[in-house]
Structure 1
Amino acid sequence: MRMMPLAVLPWRSLLLAAVTLFGVAVISFVLLRVVPGDPIAMMIAPGASAADIAQLRASYGLDRSIAVQFLIWLGHAITGDFGTSISMRQDVVHLIAARLPATIELTLLALVIALILGIGTAVLSTLSRRRLVGSAIDNSNGVLLAVPDFVWALAFVVLFGVALPVLPISGRVDPRLSIDFATSFILMESLARLHFDIALDVLAHMIMPALALALPLAAVILRVLKGALEAEAHQDYALLARIRGKSRLRVTLEETLRNALVPTLALTGVQFTFMFGGTVIVERIFAYPGIGNLAIDAVINRDLPLIQGLILTFGLIFILINLAVEASFGLLNPRLRHG
């Protein structure tokens, strides 16, 4: 069977991504407007007249049919205008742009921690000849798989924020150390500008929520990669490398690990998209100023424009991650680059 050239895949993927994003926009827009609750009722002051309510409803376009509302919203959204937040009275794009970098830095740090823990432990478990080590790793991994991220977050708050108060439990950076940042990527910018004291403080605020997000993902990576490494170790090319005198460590790192990473990478990409959803609760627990925390505020306040913008932001992130994972397959498996 002839394989499809990798150069053709991005165009099909981009087209599918555009269709998917449009579908997400339609479904979320309709659902947000048919569920019970009136956002205008949460904005009006006590004693407001019916005329005032009608005028406010008209100003947000909520007095028209859902189809007309969607067409008007879509026309503005194509130009980058996602409306004004009902609760915060600010531009939705600016609100999301100000909070998104915090979530990106948090999830990237969690991903790095998960990859280090998952891959390192999987390789260690594969190379270990002692059953006791393998059993201990498998049992510990079962616990990590069973405990959700928000439970780890609560446990870390109790342990390192209350019982042993060694880490901050809220915020993103100590205001006394803050400087005039040019961007909202505080960690990256502080490192680039050599403000290591600020970078360490940002990491101190991020380590607990990042670790809470990373542990479940590390457990998934460990389980999948360990099984893939054990399967690859029995392939002909691995046995041939052993016959040539290579040690188990060299065979694992130089031969089997790359092939075993392909299925692991696919699942990691899927789980990484779920990690963004997990930030909603974790960010709330740590009062972390990301889009997860912003999403909860938007839902509580029934802020339709902001909720719609956040849903599309999460959807776009999921699509971009999947495209990045698909593109990385060609790097790990050169055969996919050619027909």
Structure 2
Amino acid sequence: MAIARLSRRVAMAAVTLFGVGLIVFVLLRVVPGDPIAMMIAPGASPAEIAAMRARYGLDESIGMQFVLWLKGILSGDFGTSISLRRDVLGLLAERLPATLELATAALLVAVLLGGSVAVIGTRFRRSAGETVVDTVNGLFLAVPDFVWALALVLVFGVFYPLFPLSGRVDPQSASDFATRFYLLESIVTLRFEKALEVASHMVMPTLALALPLAAVITRVLKDALSEAMVQDYVALARLKGMSELRLILQEAMRNAVGPTLALTGVQFTFLIGGTVIVERIFSYPGVGNMAIDAVINRDLPLIQGLVLVFGLMFILINILVDLAVVALNPRLRHG
């Protein structure tokens, strides 16, 4: 049953990716504006313009362009960036690790912070402490990630300059890494001074992304814990003399973590999309920052590659979350 379910999800993922690719491909070509006109030299002859259009396959019909692009994707050729004049797949491989490390760090911080606040709010439910937690959490829910980014820049970059304002590492340190996963590589190779350097550049963008997600996790997990705390099995455990904190962590958490995990997975996909603005603010060299430049320059091959990569990540994350929810819930596992 598990294999059949996974096979259906993979088939649906392929259909979804095809649909996303088709829609984006068509929309990019019906929107006014000519990407060739933005990159051709002033005074170029009609022959030079025609040659440039033919080079990027823009002289064909939209249907033929899509067929050629799809054939290239299936063979591993995502095309050539119009603005950067480089292979799109190479650009994505170069920038994606930075975004994955940033998004993963933000997710870990959000889970730890949101889970801790949810437990504290549940521990002090029906008291002034719960009111304070709900009020503060409501404020955090109302503030988007880019506002947190600007506030962090102002506080920790201007008033109290504790962390670097831009980049991923110091420019002279970039050559010290064999891979693009700077933080992971420095930890695995036990170069903790490099890990500290990379982490210092990630602190502010990580917090900007993590704080809104932590507020969402707090609300959902706290509601699930509060519901679980009035169930009969928790009342029975309380009669056995368990402390309130132990009841929350040992009894209620097992049933509350399922819906929270499902929502966290969905929110994580939005978090990856949220890196677009945050990476721009901090000049962080990830795919989000590159996406803005691609849109500004109407770099059609790069935009299409970025959309496919984002779509693939969203689908994979949702599949992994579904599998985790099924693994944690015996009723779904045996249903």
Alignment partner, residue 197 of structure 1: 193
How far apart are the structure 2 equivalents of 1:236 and 1:291?
A: 49
Match of 2:34 among 29, 34, 38: 38
Structure 1 contact 178–198 (Cα < 8 Å) conserved: no
How far apart are the structure 2 equivalents of 1:300 and 1:178?
A: 27
Q: Describe the superposition over 1:44-79 as per-residue Cα deviations: whole angstroms up to 9, x where unpaired.
A: 111101111011111111011100000011011001
How far apart are the structure 2 equivalents of 1:56 and 1:176?
A: 37
Which residues of structure 1 form unaligned runs of 5+?
Answer: none
Q: Describe the superposition over 1:317-339 as per-residue Cα deviations: whole angstroms up to 9, x where unpaired.
A: 10011011001012321332223
Matched, 1:168 2:164: yes
How far apart are the structure 2 equivalents of 1:220 and 1:66?
A: 42
Structure 1 contact 6–330 (Cα < 8 Å) conserved: no
Alignment partner, residue 151 of structure 1: 147
- Using the TM superposition, give the Cα deviation of residue 129 of structure 1 relative to its aligned residue in structure 2, in angstroms: 5.6
What letter matches 2:51 in structure 1? Q
Higher mean Cα deviation, 110-119 or 246-255?
Answer: 246-255
- What does residue range 32-181 of structure 1 map to in structure 2 within 5 Å? 32-128=28-124, 131-181=127-177
Matched, 1:300 2:299: no
Compare relative contact order (CA 8 Å, sep 6+) and give the higher one, 1 or 2: 1
Match of 1:277 among 266, 273, 277: 273
- Using the TM superposition, give the Cα deviation of residue 7 of structure 1 relative to its aligned residue in structure 2, in angstroms: 3.7
How far apart are the structure 2 equivalents of 1:178 and 1:12?
A: 42
What letter matches 1:97 in structure 2? A
Alignment partner, residue 224 of structure 2: 228
- Using the TM superposition, give the Cα deviation of residue 194 of structure 1 relative to its aligned residue in structure 2, in angstroms: 1.1
Higher mean Cα deviation, 217-226 or 131-140?
Answer: 131-140
- Using the TM superposition, give the Cα deviation of residue 179 of structure 1 relative to its aligned residue in structure 2, in angstroms: 4.2
- What does residue range 312-327 of structure 1 map to in structure 2 within 5 Å? 312-327=308-323
Alignment partner, residue 179 of structure 2: 183
Structure 1 contact 171–205 (Cα < 8 Å) conserved: yes
Q: Aligned Cα RMSD in Å? A: 1.2
How far apart are the structure 1 equivalents of 2:26 and 2:294?
A: 17
Alignment partner, residue 217 of structure 1: 213
Structure 1 contact 6–336 (Cα < 8 Å) conserved: no
How far apart are the structure 1 equivalents of 2:43 and 2:293?
A: 25
How far apart are the structure 1 equivalents of 2:142 and 2:58?
A: 44
- Using the TM superposition, give the Cα deviation of residue 136 of structure 1 relative to its aligned residue in structure 2, in angstroms: 1.3
What letter matches 2:208 in structure 1? A
Alignment partner, residue 264 of structure 1: 260
Q: 3-state SS of the aligned residue for 2:280? A: helix
- What does residue range 18-37 of structure 1 map to in structure 2 within 5 Å? 18-37=14-33
How far apart are the structure 1 equivalents of 2:172 and 2:306?
A: 31
Match of 1:311 among 284, 297, 307: 307
How far apart are the structure 1 equivalents of 2:15 and 2:234?
A: 43
**TM-score scaled to structure 1, two decimals?**
0.96
Match of 1:328 among 324, 329, 335: 324
Taking a change above 3 Å as real, the CA distance of residues 200 and 176 of structure 1, as seen in their structure-2 partners, is: same
Number of residue equivalences? 335
Q: Describe the superposition over 1:4-49 as per-residue Cα deviations: whole angstroms up to 9, x where unpaired.
A: x444321111111111011001000000111011000011111101
